[in-house]
Structure 1
């Protein structure tokens, strides 16, 4: 792998090691990252470059996204996009995979669990880099499995496809995202789990957003809600509640305030019956519903935008929520603040979103739009705002 010139990477590593992760010594970082102590010392002093693999290992050990450590953020952005063809190639032969090694089911389960953490943490570069091989291995395992393991392997395929879809969708590869969703539907049918089918219906809504086919998307979600299992357990409540949350958002995009309110109320009622958590790959609970209240208010726009600010007056999403969802909240909040004449607050919210999930924030089209507008509103652009706008490629 090519080495990254220091450009401050070493200083940032030292900062996260000693400040963000207090009491972590250079030796402890070296052990956790499986890197020689001398290498860590030289990197932090700026005496040597950092390869992509080493940077990823150090970032994992520190518990941060490698984008936060990297000086050349544009390179990281390009690296994620450049890896998308490998994802496409990995799914092209989903029904006729090549021969190769297959790990034990327990090991595959752990690998998919790790990928789920990358998705919830918005680590798209990591997903694009490591998912193609895992997807290929999972399809091998599925097609050669004994009957007793095939259903679980289908479940693992759904989760892995969803991780790949998250990266594809956020990076703007909507055709690839649609293909991955169709494979999720195929694998979910083989898993024979109605809650998994409901989770796929939740994700499928992504195909309607870029096309602005909101009426069709709302219709598909209502069908999914009608066929979802009765909410008699926490998992069932979460599955149905997540569908209502999604329906509220797409109704908001369609400017159907009555439908959006009705779905939000249903989601709120179901959320009161469960603890906030990740169910079948989707975060659901009272906090997630609050975040969707903000999203719906912003989508409805006009007089509804004030409702978004009311929700956030004395509440902020807890750090226990997935990073992608929390960063999305601040992106939505920034738009509400910008529309209500609070540009300084909007910029602060965008900076918080970047701190939580830099890749998710950088690739969000609303971030670029709002950063551009903030630059226009401030006739004497501050250096910080200019730097932020350049970071997210705002015009």
Structure 2
């Protein structure tokens, strides 16, 4: 891609980093944008140009629309959107991979663990840069593995597919997401791990959310609960609790309040038995259940919305929770505040979500809807609301 003119662009980036986001250092910007510290320094000094891909990554890290950084103010395509075809191509030959190098299992294991961390932190640009090639390599490794090594390779494939699915689902590539979910389900039997199967059932719920097939999704989760191992270990307890947590939310979308609150009560009882943590790729514990309680209250709407506001008055997600989950809390809270006539509070919650996980917030459909509503309600208000609405392409 051609490099964009520099100079004023670098000064604009430095302004947003040091004034609009005063707590962000050059190093933090470099890490969030997945570029080197030296690159950020040279860009801000006007010593080098910036490609479209790098500009989008920096803008996402700053929580601003890329057009606000450019001199020509022209449109910029999303780096992630442009990478989705490569992700699709990476899984097309999952059963007939081409020949190529395969690193040692410990190296692959570390690479997959890193991709999981990126997913939990909502660092989607990093995923699309690294995971397509990783998936191709892991497919080779799986088919070349000795029978005794295949279960672990299958488990790694599931984790890799899940990281890729997070990008596909968040960025609206529903068919690709469904394909990745089916590949997870294909790999699970080879792994021979019933807890892994339960975690895939958790992820599969995305397909029901996307299709708005909420009653069917609830049935699928309840079948997964019936098949899941007894919660007689810490990990088993957490995995089962996550299924109840997920079932509560989709039951709420199905307008089955009784089932929703019953599943949430089961999730809370199990969460009280384990520390907050990430189990089989899913965050679970008392804090995660509380966030899902807010999600459930918003999903049910009407008289339940006050419950979300009551939770937010007394509690906020701790910073050690995954960024995607924390930003989701503030996105849900913003909707509850908007419905309750608290427009200013709703905007503050949306800005908090953006600070925590810019890419996750920007691509969330509720953010676009609610930012558009806020702009219509407050047409004469500050420029920052208009800027936010433009940043997330508000509807």
Compute the TM-score of the two structures, normalised by the length of structure 1: 0.90
Corresponding residue of 1:9: 13
Secondary structure, counterpart of 2:269 in structure 1? helix
Task: State the distance in 2 between where 1:55 and 1:372 align.
Answer: 25
- How far the C-alpha of 1:43 sits from its partner, in A, is 2.4
What residue in structure 1 maps to residue 203 of structure 2? Answer: 203
Distance in 2 between residues matched to 1:25 and 1:379, nearest whole Å: 34
Counterpart residue number, 1:189: 189
| 1:237 partnered with 2:237 | yes
Match of 1:389 in 2: 389
Gap change, CA 1:229 and 1:25, over 3 Å in 2: closer
CA distance in 2 between counterparts of 1:18 and 1:253 reads 39
Q: What is the rounded CA distance, in whole Å, between the counterparts of 1:158 and 1:227 in structure 2?
A: 19
Q: Distance in 2 between matches of 1:16 and 1:376?
A: 24
Output one character per residue of 1:326-360: Cα deviation in whole Å (capped at 9) or x when no partner. Answer: 11000000000000110000000000001111111
Q: What CA distance in whole angstroms lies between the structure 1 residues aligned with 2:332 and 2:242?
A: 19
* Residues 207 and 42 of structure 1: CA distance in aligned 2, closer, same or farther (over 3 Å): closer
- Post-superposition CA distance 1:7-45 (Å, at most 9, x none): 2234556779994459x799x99xx97665xx6543232
TM-superposed deviation, 1:232: 0.7
After superposition, the Cα gap between the structure-2 partners of 1:202 and 1:4, relative to the gap in structure 1 and judged at 3 Å, is farther
Aligned to 2:342: 342
Gapped regions of structure 2 (runs ≥ 5): 69-73
8 Å contact 1:13–1:44 — kept in the other structure? Answer: no
SS of the aligned residue for 1:372 comes to helix
Match of 1:122 in 2: 122
1:75 CA drift (Å) = 6.7
Q: In structure 2, how many angstroms separate the alpha carbons of the residues matched to 1:281 and 1:169?
A: 16
- Give the match for residue 142 of structure 1: 142
Aligned to 1:322: 322
> Deviation digits for residues 348-376 of structure 1, max 9, x if unmatched?
00000011111111111101110111111
Q: Secondary structure at the match of 1:318?
A: coil
**Counterpart position of 1:352:** 352
**Cα distance in structure 2, aligned partners of 1:144 and 1:250:** 39
Give 1:307's aligned residue: 307
Paired residues for 1:147-158 under 5 Å: 147-158=147-158
Q: Secondary structure of 1:349's match?
A: helix
- Does structure 2 conserve the Cα–Cα contact (< 8 Å) formed by 1:11 and 1:45? no
Using the TM superposition, give the Cα deviation of residue 126 of structure 1 relative to its aligned residue in structure 2, in angstroms: 1.9
The answer to whether the 8 A contact 2:16-2:62 is kept is: no
Please list the CA deviations of residues 77-119 of structure 1 after superposition, one character each: whole Å capped at 9, or x if unmatched.
6221111111111111100000000001011011111111111
Structure 1 40/377 Cα, relative in aligned 2: closer, same or farther at 3 Å?
closer
**1:206-230 deviations in Å (ceiling 9; x for gaps):** 0001211111100000000011110
Taking structure 2 as the reference length, the TM-score comes to 0.90
Q: How many residues of Structure 1 are paired with residues of Structure 2 in the alignment?
A: 384
What secondary structure, in the 3-state scheme, does the structure 1 residue paired with 2:78 have? helix
What secondary structure sits across from 1:239 in the alignment?
helix
1:1-395 matches, cutoff 5 A: 2-6=2-6, 7=9, 8-11=12-15, 19-21=23-25, 41-51=41-51, 66=61, 68=63, 71-72=66-67, 78-395=78-395
Deviation at 1:76, TM superposition (A): 6.8
For 1:315 and 1:194, the matched residues in 2 are separated by: 35
1:4 positional shift: 4.5
- Tell me, which stretches of 5 or more residues in structure 1 are unaligned? none
Judged with a 3 Å threshold, the aligned counterparts in structure 2 of structure 1 residues 16 and 305 are, in CA distance, closer, same or farther, namely closer
- Would the alpha carbon gap of residues 76 and 324 (structure 1) be closer, same or farther in structure 2, given more than 3 Å must change? farther
